[in-house]
Amino acid sequence: MSIHSVTQNNAITLTKKESKLTTRNVVVRGWFLPVLVLILWQILGSVGILPAQLFSSPLLIVIRSNELIQSGELAKHLQISLTRAFLGFTIGGGFGLLIGVIVGMKKRAEEYLNPSIQMLRTVPLLVITPLFIMWFGFGELSKVLLIALGAFFPLYLQTFLGIRNVDKKLYEVAQILEYNRLEQITKLMIPASLPNILLGIRLSLSAAWMCLVVAELLGADKGIGFMIQDARSFMQTDTVFVGIIIFALAGKISDSIVRFLENRLLKWQDSFKA
């Protein structure tokens, strides 16, 4: 084996080790603040500074979550909440992407649709919720549609902006290559708008989780939101915290999945990394 090959292999090995160390450091730094808060919380709860009736200690929350898991109650509520969030995000995000592409491509569509959509976007969802209940009742339809409405606007807006920010020279190249409309969308507009679209997906997922909480707290007999509302009625603070942590973890996991896709799909971007 030549000296050059040995040197190259050593360089690759060092690069892999540095990458692993960097990933490990990022994970440690990310967990530093949550772990510190949990330790302080447990200490303050153990000495009685934080009353258990209002601030259950992390240990009590872990015990309660284990009880809910063992009884199967947590899995039942979580499955229902995840189904609602997935359906709402799929419907709302799908329409947001579709209409964002149409409005971004067509000036006439923007003139007809965009003003009304922007006006509806400014209306708080809590104001619309009573209407949804009056129109669709307390069933699953009203909850899914409320989540879909919340997920629609972020993805619509980011898709619209992404398409409008595509370099005009790329359209000229597409005309030279004689792309039809479908090819323009699939080979030019969507790939060029991908950073905005992925950002819109992240924002839509966050909106879907928030709308899920609102929908389940206002009227539901199943789901994590209902579990929180029911526990609040009986002053079961530990169960309330379990529900809050479930929502936080679900939101974080879904956001991390999209960020992973961003890192995989946007490798070509030469962006600033602090």
Q: Residue 69 belongs to a domain with what CATH number?
A: 1.10.3720.10
* H helix runs in 58-139, sequence order: 58-71, 73-105, 107-121, 125-136
For 56-89, the pLDDT digits (tens) are 888 989 999 999 999 989 999 999 999 999 999 9
- The answer to whether residues 114 and 186 belong to one domain is yes
**Residue with token string 């189904």:** 83
The answer to whether residues 100 and 215 belong to one domain is: yes
**pLDDT at site 191:** 85
pLDDT the model gives residue 32: 85
One-letter amino acid of 60: L
pLDDT confidence bin for 243, thresholds 50/70/90: very high
Which pLDDT belongs to residue 38? 86
Residue 6 has pLDDT above 50, yes or no: no
Q: Is the pLDDT of residue 28 over 80?
A: no
Q: Is the pLDDT of residue 19 over 60?
A: no
Q: Are residues 37 and 75 in the same domain?
A: no
Per-residue confidence band for 272, with pLDDT thresholds at 50, 70 and 90: very low
Quick one: 98 and 167 in the same domain?
yes
How many domains does the structure of the chain reveal?
Answer: 2
Reported for 81-86, long-range contacts at CB under 8 A and 24+ positions apart, including other chains, are 81/212, 81/216, 81/223, 81/224, 81/225, 81/250, 82/250, 84/140, 84/143, 84/144, 84/147, 84/212, 84/215, 84/216, 84/223, 85/147, 85/208, 85/209, 85/212, 85/250
Task: Quote the percentage of the chain above a pLDDT of 90.
Answer: 35
* Residue range(s) defining the domain that contains residue 233: 58-265
- Is 271 a domain residue? no
b/e map of 231-262 (b: 16 or more CB within 10 Å)?
beeeebbbbbbbbeebbeebbeebbeebeeeb
Q: Does residue 67 sit in helix, strand or coil? A: helix
pLDDT band at 103 (very low <50, low <70, confident <90, very high): very high
10 Å CB burial of residue 102 (0-12, 13-18, 19+) is: middle
Q: How many CA atoms lie within 13 A of 243 on its CB side?
A: 25
pLDDT band of residue 156 (cuts 50, 70, 90) is very high
Closest CA to 169 of 187, 188, 152, 156: 188
Residue 270 lies in a domain: no
Q: Give the pLDDT band (50/70/90) at residue 213.
A: confident
* 252 within a domain of the structure (yes/no): yes
